[in-house]
Chains A and B, each alone.
Chain A
Amino acid sequence: MAIKFNEVAFTYQKGTPFESQALHDINLEIEDGSFTAIVGHTGSGKSTLLQHLNGLLKPTEGEIQIGEQIITPETPNKALNDLRKQVGIVFQFPEAQLFEETVIKDVAFAPKNFGKTESEAEAIAEKMLQLVGLPESIYQQSPFDLSGGQMRRVAIAGILAMEPKILVLDEPTAGLDPRGRVDMMAMFEELHREQNLTIILVTHQMDDVANYADYAIIMSKGTIIKSGTPRAVFSDPDFLLNNHLNVPTTTLFSKRLTEKGFSFANIPLTEAELADDLVELLSRKGGHDANE
């Protein structure tokens, strides 16, 4: 399902003394089956934008098209139930949403809400728990007895169990150890590749953007200040640094190398690309010290 934002604006508590505008004329397009990363400071409107994707918030101006559905400020809430099933959102620290007595019941909760029978839902739940890499021995345990990382996996399995077409991830690896982060990102990458899931990822990890995303959106103060492929976005590292945003480690390193006299045809985004470029550059120099 493709997503299209047309002049979308959102104001919290409109018409009260506390009103504050979180989004200003947002125009964006997310293609079906793409992996889009949204980056920006805390408070730049990323999370507000995410909640528009499944109708938790409705725009106060403009319109959003998600698949066939068009959301305008006047869209009634009842019309959004179907959308919720198709767009799964994994919120920040999703382990806070667990509540059932057993892991399997919790994962089966969403499919049951969307009309699956008990046994169908449990079958899906088992499949999803396997997918996120949890052992069968914990299926009947209480989710509150698990470790933080396992709870996070159960929560994510609970969203995957809705079998969404679009998966929205709000900092899914925040607070995980390096191993957990890599595993989790690899899992999302696999889902994206194998099931052609559209993924929208909000993150502060520019390395993840460089490694996994094929489209990047940079937000600041409720507007989109830059968007394009990660290569296009990171080709101007100074722009990001001036906006107090990070750039991928590789980009930063190659920027330092450029300052020392190296020149790259394309700014390398991943470690593999950087290594290839360096091998090529060094072999062309015929073994000379590059710093000369």
Chain B
Amino acid sequence: MNKLILGRYIAGDSLIHRLDPRAKLVLSFYFVGIIFMANNWQSFSMLLIFTLGCILASKISLSFFLKGVRPLIWLIIFTVALQMLFSSGGQMYWHWGIFKISEFGVTNGLYIFCRFILIIFMSTLLTLSTAPLQLADAIESLLKPLKTIKFPVYEIALMLSIALRFVPTLMDETAKIMNAQRARGVNFGQGSLIKQMQSIIPLLIPLFVSSFNRAEDLAIAMESRGYQGGEGRTKYRVLKWQTTDTMAFVLFAVVTVALVYLKN
């Protein structure tokens, strides 16, 4: 559980940390979109250099990003291998039965590998450099236009920020209950599949019960502090758009133009 890097926030004070979370959110999604335009080595190397530049600017050590790749490494290897072994075209290097390694397959595999790395690096950069509550604020702000079609933007944002706030608390609670049950002789992750599933019950039930209790307490505490719903509230954390945010958009526009120019 502790090995998970995705979704962690590393406090810092860099150019990337100070960007408006709305800008970061929109730009990361945008970046994931334009990655699919790249289709030759020139465009991919440009994107890789750009991503590494962003990581450098965030002043977060590269090892965090490499750790972010680790849980997905098998998925990446599987997809790349599939591409390499089953596509044909160009010069054929080796083949055995239905398996073949061709020039086309190798380049395709490499491209897919690059895509994965780029997407993971960019999304890790977003979550590592943006506090969860900032992200929730950004989502609320970006969803605001949906209010016109009666979409409950405020409620969604509230649920999101409460959920994000309680992720670490629930993780701690899970670890505590797990320890308590292990001390009572439960072996998590040992034995047959059925046995393993049964051993989850002493963990899940207390976790659900404590979540219910927590929800009740939280609701009462909120009401007693005068919470009446989204209408008529003011905001404490106000997002501020700065020139650096506009500059970031300009930079991404330049990258897009360069990408269109470099690709086949």
Task: Give chain A's interface residues, CB within 8 Å of chain B.
Answer: 12-13, 16-18, 51, 54, 56, 81, 84-85, 87-89, 91-92, 94, 96-99, 109-110, 113-114, 144, 158-159, 162
Task: Write the nearest CB–CB distance from A99 to chain B, whole angstroms.
Answer: 4
**A84/B206 in contact, CB under 8 A:** no
Q: Give Cα A54–Cα B186 distance, bound, in whole angstroms.
A: 13
Contact of B179 (CB < 8 Å), options: A56, A81, A114: A56
Task: Write the nearest CB–CB distance from B213 to chain A, whole angstroms.
Answer: 9
Q: Mark B215-250, 1 if CB is under 8 A from A, else 0.
A: 000000000000000000000000000000000000
Number of interface residues of B (CB under 8 A): 24
**A162/B176 in contact, CB under 8 A:** no
Known: A17-B63, A110-B185, A162-B185. A94 touches B180 (CB 8 A): yes
Q: Mark B194-225, 1 if CB is under 8 A from A, else 0.
A: 00000001100110011000000000000000
Q: Give Cα A96–Cα B210 distance, bound, in whole angstroms.
A: 7
Task: Write the nearest CB–CB distance from B12 to chain A, whole angstroms.
Answer: 13
> Which residues of A sit under 8 angstroms from B177, Cβ to Cβ?
96-97
Residue of A13, A87, A97, A110 with most chain B CB atoms under a 10 A cut-off: A97
Q: Give Cα A9–Cα B209 distance, bound, in whole angstroms.
A: 36
Known: A97-B181, A113-B186. A91 touches B176 (CB 8 A): yes
Residue B144 is within 8 A (CB to CB) of chain A in the complex: no
**B209/A144 in contact, CB under 8 A:** yes
Q: Give Cα A114–Cα B187 distance, bound, in whole angstroms.
A: 11
> 14 A-B Cβ contacts within 8 A?
A16-B2, A16-B3, A16-B67, A17-B67, A56-B182, A89-B180, A91-B176, A91-B180, A96-B210, A97-B206, A110-B184, A144-B209, A159-B183, A162-B184
> Which residues of A sit under 8 angstroms from B179, Cβ to Cβ?
51, 56, 91
Task: Give chain B's interface residues, CB within 8 Å of chain A.
Answer: 2-3, 61, 63-64, 67, 173, 176-177, 179-187, 201-202, 205-206, 209-210
Residue of B184, B187, B202, B210 with most chain A CB atoms under a 10 A cut-off: B184
Task: Write the nearest CB–CB distance from B5 to chain A, whole angstroms.
Answer: 9
> Which residues of B sit under 8 angstroms from A96, Cβ to Cβ?
173, 176-177, 180, 206, 210
**B63/A99 in contact, CB under 8 A:** no
**B2/A18 in contact, CB under 8 A:** yes
> Which residues of A sit under 8 angstroms from B181, Cβ to Cβ?
97
Task: Write the nearest CB–CB distance from A149 to chain B, whole angstroms.
Answer: 16
Q: Give Cα A252–Cα B50 distance, bound, in whole angstroms.
A: 65
**A91/B183 in contact, CB under 8 A:** yes
Contact of B183 (CB < 8 Å), options: A16, A17, A88, A99: A88
Q: Give Cα A109–Cα B209 distance, bound, in whole angstroms.
A: 18
> Which residues of B sit under 8 angstroms from A98, Cβ to Cβ?
206
> Which residues of A sit under 8 angstroms from B186, Cβ to Cβ?
113
